[in-house]
Structure 1
Amino acid sequence: MTASDPTSSAAGTTAEIQPGQYGAGATGQPLCDMACGAFATTAATGPEPVDFEGHVLYSASYSHYARRVLLARPELPGIVSAAAAQPLTRAWMSERLKALQEPSADMEESVKRALRRLRAEVMCVAIERDLRGHATLAEVTGAMTDLAELCIQHGLAMLGDDLAATYGRPVGEQSGEVQELVVVGMGKLGGRELNVSSDIDLIFLYDEDGETAGGTRSLSNHEYFIRLGRRLINLLADVTGDGYVFRVDMRLRPNGDAGPLACSFGMLEEYLVVQGREWERYAWIKGRVVSALDTPHAERTAALLARLTTPFVFRRYLDYGVIAAIRSLHAQIRSEAAKRSGGLAGHGVNQRSFNIKLGRGGIREIEFMAQVFQLIRGGQDPALRVRPTLEVLAVAVDRGLLPAAQAAQLCDAYRFLRQLEHRLQYRDDAQTHHLPTTPEEQLAVAQMMGCADWAALTARLAALQEPVAQQFEATFSDPDASPCEALWPGLVLEDQQARTTQDGPDQSGPDTEVSPCQRLQDAGFTDCTGLLDRLRAIATSLRYRALSESSRVRFDQLVNRALDLAARQKDADSTITRFIDFLEAISRRASYLSLLSEYPQAMDRVAHTLHASRWAAAYLTRHPQLLDELLDSDALAGAPDWPAFRRRLAERLLAADGQIEQQMDILRREHHAETFRILLQDLQGLLTVEQIADRLSDLADAMLEATLETVWRQLATRHCDTPRFAVIAYGRLGGKELGYASDLDIIFLYEDEHERAPDVYAAYARRLITWLTSHTAAGSLFDVDMRLRPNGAAGLLVTSFDAFRRYQLREGDNTAWVWEHQALTRARFCAGDAAIGARFEALRDEILRQPRDAAALRDEIVQMRGKVAEGHPNPTPLFDLKHDRGGMVDIEFTVQYLVLLHSGTHPQLTRNAGNIALLREAGELGLIDAPLAVQVGDAYRQFRALQHQLRLDGQGQARVPAEQVAEQTAHVRALWQAVFGAG
């Protein structure tokens, strides 16, 4: 077999189970107790335990292998009996290895013998503890993994010393450092879940080329490591009178059997970039250095290996193309398993040769379902890069990718199958995953699983495997991609042929065939000529011609589906235009084409989104990575969990610490995704305008907080661990009335007596603005407006709290204007140091409650309202919802006037509760007519809803026919007249 053969059992990967973490039921029982009943109860119907001169052992009665080993070594029953009283540990193995290694002139032979005898002892203790129900699955797999690592590391140390006598040590030609063989454990070994008769899949690597030094002869490093690797394989796999330690499989190395036994990191990197196959990505998920890591060189090379393999395994984008790849790989593996078992694998648990690993509902299907989450999303979410299958499933539940009930079914089946796998292998120390065929073997295995008979075991097995198989088939089934009517690309080809045949001078009159344009019209499109021109342009474009064959097939399917979905909408022409813009934008991203091909429901939701809103269509086209959000039905219906969102965002930013570009992209992707979820709920009519604004404001607060923390960690000039720095929100963010594309009106305050504080916080503020406003590969985050800081654009970027207090309280020559106090009515602390935030809120309350002259204040606000109107002229006959008289600005200025004038006697007005609530409060206090206050509040709500809808429709100016809002504007004008006495 070569490295390109994905059907080998070595090509797949399995799960990591950390000691003590998994393998027991919810009550802490061993898995055999969860299966068919307590082992001790059913064991009475099976063979009697064997008594070795007072050492009573179940292992000898159920395992032919254990019985042979125990009879061959008279001292072994006592060792096993004593060791079985405690969990297996690496420390115990190390002590036993020292005791077993005898002085000898042939050190290699002595080590061979000691390792094989150690393996026999570990096996017998594991079998004994497991069959007595004392060992969890994690203990058994962890013990076998510890044994493999101990043997590899002990063997490398002995063989290295032996080779040094002749060749010295390998030295890097660039660094001059002594080089070490880097042994990478793949598959079960890499995942720390070796079964009791598992092969170990290894890859041998080294860092630098060079030559050995210090010996009587010299070898190139390449030759040295190949020689060392061969001797290590022989040490572990050679069958002697004491058996073997582990079978070693080297076929996962670059180029498989055709490649060199040991390769350099440079060779590995080139191979992964140029030749790395899809199935090798699955294998490298589990890759882990298993040679000694207690030297600086070893730690450095392990980190280098991670940097080489992580980009190969985990794509930076959402990689839905892996679904089809895993589907294909699984089909090949299932076919190969069927051939090996006479065509019966996968037909059911009662078939004579059913394979619990590769068969339907088997171990491999559970592993694939975990790996699909890792491969699709692991590039963006480091939490999914863990190795254990059960841990991956737990992360998937935590991230909302997998329902908890489905994950529980998969975990129960996985634990059961892994325990059953061990019992099949305990019998004869054979690498088997096939159920037994003889009644005697069947009964023994059933009893080992705690079941009374074979029928009870197979019934339990079937009950666990069927949900696994159903989930697997639902995940990896090939969706029906055929459209209702295949209009593309055949339609354009027909059009081109018709144009060619009509070029001759003897052609006259229309075609008797239905024209392509007519077919589009019949499908439901009005502007069929424009649509046909657009489709023709795509067919002849370089972008379309440059697509790979698989991408073109998917693109063609999606265009047909888009035509079909758009034709069902009332505005089919505008919907298909948006659809084509979107599909062209994603055409070069195979993963997005794969997602829409694999998940028809996502395509349906795309159609709804594109139809519902021009702004939403443009947003999705700019950020196609948001397609992933269309698959999460729960997230599309539920309210945001902001504490969980903040934790998840902090985890991802911390995992990318020091990688500025990646962290900026993380912030943008998370913000876009959460915005899109709000948008989708909005388009479904699930949210009011107030709820949308609240959620967008809460999201902005969370993004600001995360950015503050991340940028401070990056700041080289920082003088303390936590900045005494706060962000104050004004305007729409301050009033929690943020829209989808609103700027952030913010200012920065600090309170810090350190002598370097002004310079440090100024640099910090500049960096913050850069992080918030820069356009990266993931798009933009926010536009920021800092003009509301003291002295506006001419003022300092960041202000000390004391200077801000004096400015606002008008102490000294440099003082705030009335309009700046107006702005304070919609200001609030939103991120940063909570103590500064509390002081700001207290100061705001103090300022708003200052006594003011009613006439002077009225004149100032009326004058300011006039300036705002002059700055926003409206030459159209339409009514501008925000700026025209009788609109939103009139309402806002009226509320601000009432707050500034009356808060001294009515402190409840200082609450930043929003214009509608403050109007109602003012009406209830008798400051304005109460019924009119309610009517104006309703008008404000109506204006905001209309403004919101117009923005979703892609209109830059929020203007409507005046008669549409005549009643509302009349109420607003009446209130303005009552308060200000002016028109």
Structure 2
Amino acid sequence: MSCDTVTSSTLAPALAHSRYLQRLFTRHPDLADETAAHLYQPFSHAEMSLRLLNDSANDEAAFKRKLRRLRQAVMARLIARELEGLADLDEAVHTVSDLAELAVQHALAFVTRNETRPGRPIGEDSGELQELIVVGMGKLGGRELNVSSDIDLIFVYPEDGTTDGDVRLTNHEYFTRIGKKLIQLIDDPTEDGIVFRVDMRLRPFGDSGPLVCSFAALENYLITQGREWERYAWIKGRAMTGDGDALMQLIHPFVYRKYLDYGAYQSMRELHSQIRREVQRRDRIDNIKLGPGGIREIEFIGQVFQLIRGGRVKALTQRETRGTLDELGRQGLLPAETVAELQMAYAFLRNVEHRLMYIDDAQTQTLPGNDDDRARIATSMGFADWAAFTAALAYHRDRVTLQFEQIFGLPQEATGGADDGAWQQTRDGEQAPDALAAKGYRDATELARKLAAFASSNRYQQMPDRCRQRVDHILPALIGVAAGYPNPDDTLSRLLGLLEAIGRRESYLALLAEHPQTLNRLAELYSASPWVSDYLTRHPILLDELLDARLLYQAPDWVRLGKILRQEIAELGDDTEAKMDCLRHFQHTQVFRIVAQDLAGLLSLETVSDHLSALADLILTVTIAEVWRELPKRHCEVPRFAAIGYGKLGGKELGYGSDLDLVYLYDDPHPDAPESYARLAKKIVTWLTTLTSAGALYDIDLRLRPNGTSGLLVSSIEAFAEYQRKSAWVWEHQALTRARFVCGEATIGAAFDAVKNDILRSERDLDALREEVVKMRERMFETHPPKPDDVKHCRGGIVDIEFIVQYLILAHARRFGDLTGNLGNIALLGFAARDGLIDAGLASHAQTAYRELRRLQHANRLNGTKPSPATLATIADAMAAVRTLWSQLFGEPADE
């Protein structure tokens, strides 16, 4: 078989499909042989670079020829490989992107090397050499370039100044000259064609703007003139030459907001409408890029989430469409099945797009109208005929359209019956009690007054127009929804407080307007708990949590969440403030999810406390690691340091808003250890307690450390053990009964447990112990008198039970070692009864009392109301049993 026969056979599918390839091989038969010989080898970046080496120093014609011949070779092999089934979409887009990037870089180097008379451009402020930054936009920026695409470029340089050569030019003039010549080298048609068509319309001010701009000019433009569609365009912006990092630092805050930018929905919706009108005007319904269910709609789906969340989630600031879709699935922002459908549709449409372009090397995304080309497309896509192909195409476009409309469709009204005039009457200066009363509001006159005060307030009157329009749209729906709850007046009053707090934050208003289904969930929470409504009003970024009930009510997986938190922290590099805010956002989100599940009746009180304690443990663990990593002059890579939790943290009984009682220990012989760990301890407190723009984390109480407020912030394990054995008060040993190792060096945790067990199992004078416990209890009454409705401090209440358990541990752990287990007061009361230390009946009543009193305490936190006498009467017998038990143990009556 001859060489020509082998070549023809190998390239048959490509030649049958591509008239461009037929013409190219007719003109360059040697290229056909080369393509066949290397068909099973992708055209790599290295191979392209090798072909561009040793370009003629000053021969522009030769350089142009080399670029264009390279493009022909790349296209020939890529077409042949794809149509032979040897290359996939990834190879196609990356190969063409590599070609474009190398062409730009070599063209810039060629022009710069030969533009010598003006000399070198020097920055007027830095005095440093300036370099042109060529930014690839669109699909080039995302490394997903079409095989016959334009390349969208923007030219930027860092500083103004002048050149230092024989012909002095301003830097702007110099880089304008460089930019024009670069375009000519790539875009000018020669007998070998072009390399790429260059489109510069995405630059500031478009065709009417200067060809190049400095950092200062670009920043000023983005701040004063930048439009929403430019944010969308710059998502894919990628510097291919020069100081790309500095440029991206300038661009990032323009594209990605620090807050969740739900206003992007409307902006993207408007942009899509403009594109759709243009498609219809030009009769481009068969355009697989811009038509319904086309490539652009898939890109819009990814990019709207990027605009909304990219400022918070760094993983969403990537440029490739498919990578973005995968990340949306990982983040739980799109269901896995939706991501799979969009990925399949994207690959199908992009493959069709390439096959359309392969026919004549033309930039087209429109389906052909003639039978021959239709047959080419169907066959190359693996279908028997055009009808089978169009059926598959319609399926994918329909799936894209469905997903697009679900995400971008105009929001529907919230259920619950929108207000039918109260807000409109109020805005018109009328009183609206009748309209409110008709919807079931109890004190309609007072509520009408509150609405009128809101409407006439400076906060509402001075809102930006878009914000006020959003409020006017949302508030009638909230009036209607709130009316459906048992306490409509309180619910609406709390919701008005939220609107006042977010009234100038269009993003939050946009979230509620774009997702009116969240209003029911919002009103439910605001109706259920003033604590939750206050929490959400202080942290409105949590409104985002209302969007997905699956996430909101999903049981926390602390191992997985810990990995997510650490990854988010790691992506922030050395930005301490951003890391502190990240911790706060994470903690607030998890607390909000826990309380939402709590109010929905999905969690027991014990489970709530377990989750809140696990959350605090995780925050402490990550904080210690990050603070140590940032600490200057640290003497070791991993700190030999531990955090010990006392009180509610130690007992895993944290509630909403609980302080963290902590003691810090270390075990490190290094001479710098005391100073290093003291600085670490101070920094930890700063990280946890500082009020940042994202709020606060925890209040920290360190008074339980050895020697209290006069003691060192951190102690060696030896010093701690010595203090506990020789100097600690009885009340400190009481506190030790609930202490536990939280995080840090595990060997210190084991050493602490050994000290704790040794102390708790020490021999004690029981009479002296009883006396000290009673004295401590009486001392507490000085600041917390025993009021009947104070379930914590009343006689027979929570503190009495805790003191009983602590006494039993200190008195009897020497004989009954199971009392030293950190298992909670209910379990320990059971152990004490089993061991014959207290009456089993009284123990059972005390367990009931403790469980119910904690439940009432928890409810008080959420509802802001004290338990009623009727409620307390239901556990009166259990509390009386606690008082009896107190009297039996301590030889004195525990009066009511």
TM-score, reference length from structure 1: 0.88
2:318 aligns to what?
A: 386
Residue of structure 1 in register with 2:273 after alignment: 331
Q: Cα deviations across residues 289-318 of structure 1 (Å, max 9, x unaligned)?
A: 112xxxxxx3xx212111101111110001
**Which among 423, 438, 447 is matched to residue 522 of structure 1?**
438
Corresponding residue number in structure 1 for 2:146: 195
Instruction: Measure the CA separation in 1 of the matches of 2:330 and 2:342.
Output: 15
Task: Report the counterpart of residue 576 of structure 2 in structure 1.
Answer: 660
1:299-448 → structure 2 map (5 Å cutoff):
301-340=243-282, 342=283, 345=285, 354-448=286-380
CA contact (8 A) 2:259 2:309 kept: yes
Match of 1:42 in 2: none
* Cα contact 1:197–1:429 (8 A) shared by 2: yes
Relative to structure 1, the CA distance from residue 870 to residue 240 in structure 2 (aligned partners, 3 Å threshold; closer, same or farther) is same
The 3 A distance-change label for structure 1 pair 958 and 222 is farther
1:963 aligns with 2:866: no
Determine if the alignment matches structure 1 residue 954 to structure 2 residue 864: yes
- 2:236 is aligned with 1:286: yes
Tell me whether 1:126 sits opposite 2:78 in the alignment: yes
Q: Is the 8 A contact 2:789 2:866 kept in 1?
A: no
Letter in 2 for 1:333: I
- One-letter identity of the residue aligned with 2:770: R
User: Which of 111, 116, 121 matches 1:170?
Assistant: 121
Partner of 1:471: 403
Instruction: Decide whether the 8 Å contact of 1:881 with 1:960 is kept in 2.
Output: no
Distance in 1 of aligned mates of 2:498 and 2:369: 57
Whole-angstrom distance in 2 between the partners of 1:962 and 1:680: 26
Native 8 Å contact 2:418 2:481 kept in 1 = no
**Cα–Cα, structure 1 residues 904 and 959, in superposed 2: closer, same or farther, change >3 Å?**
farther
Q: What SS does structure 1 have at the residue aligned with 2:120? A: strand
What is the letter of the counterpart of residue 376 of structure 2?
Answer: A
User: Following the alignment from structure 1 to structure 2, what is the Cα–Cα distance between the partners of residues 809 and 956?
Assistant: 41
Pairing partner for 2:765 from 853, 859, 862: 853
Q: Does 1:549 align with 2:465?
A: yes
Partner SS state of residue 211, structure 1: strand
Q: Which residue of 2 aligns with 1:83?
A: 38
The separation in 2 between residues aligned to 1:139 and 1:53, in whole angstroms, is 24
In the alignment, does 2:875 pair up with 1:925? no
Map Cα deviations across residues 740-762 of structure 1 (whole Å, 9 max, x no partner).
01111011111111212111211
Q: CA deviation at 1:632?
A: 2.0
* Higher deviation after alignment, 607-616 or 452-461: 452-461
Gaps of 5+ in 1: 1-48, 292-297, 346-353, 497-514
Counterparts of 1:964-979 in structure 2, within 5 Å, are 964-979=874-889
**Secondary structure at 2:367's aligned position in 1?**
coil
**Once the two structures are superposed, what CA deviation does each residue of 1:386-424 show, in whole Å capped at 9, x if it has no partner?**
111111122222222121111111111111111111111
Moved more, 174-183 or 653-662: 653-662
Question: Cα distance, 1:323 vs. partner?
Answer: 0.8
Opposite residue 78 of structure 1, the aligned amino acid is: D
CA distance in 1, matches of 2:7, 2:615: 69
Q: Compute the displacement of 1:218 (Å).
A: 2.0
- What's the counterpart of residue 774 of structure 2? 862
1:762-801 residue CA offsets vs partner (Å, 9 max, x unmatched): 1211111111111111111111111100111111111111
For the pair 1:490 / 2:424, whether they are aligned, the reply is yes
Letter in 1 for 2:138: G
Distance apart, 1:203 and its partner CA:
0.3
Structure 1: how far apart are the matches of 2:701 and 2:870? 28
- 1:744 touches 1:785 (CA, 8 Å); kept in 2? yes
Given that 2:420 and 2:435 are in contact with CA atoms closer than 8 Å, whether structure 1 keeps it comes out as no
Superposed, 1:258-269 pairs within 5 Å as 258-269=208-219
Return the alpha-carbon distance in structure 1 between the equivalents of residues 688 and 596 of structure 2: 24
Other-structure match for 2:809: 899
- Cα separation, partners in 2 of 1:65 and 1:270, compared to 1, 3 Å: same
1:92 aligns with 2:92: no
The aligned amino acid for 1:199 is D
In the alignment, does 2:840 pair up with 1:940?
Answer: no
Query: Which digits, 9 at most, give the CA deviation of each residue in 1:443-492, with x for residues without a partner?
Result: 11011011111122112222222222111101111113486333254212
Amino acid at match of 2:151: I
* Partner-residue secondary structure (3-state), 1:644: helix
Q: How does 1:796-811 map to 2 (within 5 A)?
A: 796-810=712-726
| Contact persistence 1:355–1:434 (CA under 8 A) | yes
Determine the C-alpha separation between the residues in 1 that align with 2:620 and 2:869: 32
Cα distance in 2, alignment partners of residues 720 and 129 from structure 1:
55
> Residues 122 and 162 of structure 2 are in contact (CA less than 8 Å); yes or no, is this contact kept in structure 1?
yes
Residue range with higher mean Cα deviation, 716-725 or 942-951: 716-725
CA distance in 2: counterparts of 1:377 and 1:908, whole angstroms: 50
* Cα 1:776/1:980, change in 2 over 3 Å: same
1:831 aligns with 2:831: no
| Number of residues of Structure 1 aligned to a counterpart in Structure 2 | 888
CA 1:82–1:96 in structure 2 vs 1: closer, same or farther (change >3 Å)? Answer: farther
Cα displacement (A) at 1:637: 2.3
Alignment of 1:158 with 2:75, yes or no, is no
* 1:244 CA drift (Å): 0.4
Aligned residue identity for 1:954: G
- Where relative contact order (Cα < 8 A, 6+ residues apart) is larger, the structure is 1
Measure, in 1, the Cα distance between the counterparts of 2:678 and 2:761. Answer: 31
Structure 1 residue 51, shift from structure 2 partner: 5.9
Identify the match of residue 256 of structure 1 among 193, 198, 206.
Answer: 206
* Counterpart residue number, 2:540: 624
Distance in 2 separating the partners of 1:485 and 1:316: 34
CA distance in structure 2 between the aligned counterparts of 1:959 and 1:841, rounded to whole angstroms: 43
1:749 alignment partner, SS class: strand
The one-letter code of the counterpart of 1:242 is D
Distance 1:55 1:654, change over 3 A: closer
Partner of 1:59 in structure 2?
A: 14
In the TM superposition, residue 959 of structure 1 has moved relative to its aligned partner by: 8.8
C-alpha distance in 2 between matches for 1:62 and 1:54 = 14
Name the CA distance, whole Å, in 1 between partners of 2:533 and 2:868.
Answer: 19
Q: Look up the match of 1:142.
A: 94
Between the aligned residues of both structures, percent identity stands at 50
Residues of 2 paired with 1:206 and 1:828: CA distance? 58
Structure 2 Cα separation of the partners of residues 258 and 631 of structure 1? 43
Q: 1:461 to 1:287 in 2, by over 3 A?
A: same
RMSD over aligned CA atoms reads: 1.8
Does the 8 Å CA contact 2:121/2:171 hold for their aligned counterparts?
A: yes
Once residues 909 and 458 of structure 1 are traced to their aligned partners in structure 2, the CA distance between those partners, rounded to angstroms, is: 75
Query: What letter matches 1:486 in structure 2?
Result: D
Give the superposition deviation at 1:143: 0.6
Read off the aligned partner of 1:67 and give its amino acid letter: Q
Residue 870 of structure 2 corresponds to residue 915 of structure 1: no
Matched, 1:274 2:224: yes
User: What is residue 132 of structure 2 aligned with on the other side?
Assistant: 181
Of residues 549, 558, 579, the one that matches 1:642 is 558
Shift of 1:964: 4.2
Instruction: Note if contact 2:845-2:879 (Cα within 8 Å) is conserved in structure 1.
Output: no
1:43 alignment partner in structure 2: none
Describe the superposition over 1:117-172 as per-residue Cα deviations: whole angstroms up to 9, x where unpaired: 110110010001111111121111111011011111111111111111x2222122
Distance 1:311 1:176 in 2: 27
Aligned to 2:733: 821
Q: Which residue matches 1:451?
A: 383
In 2, are the aligned partners of 1:65 and 1:428 still within 8 Å (CA)? Answer: yes
Instruction: Provide the C-alpha distance between the structure 1 equivalents of 2:750 and 2:33, rounded to a whole number of angstroms.
Output: 71
Shift in CA distance, 394/429, structure 1 to aligned 2, threshold 3 Å: same
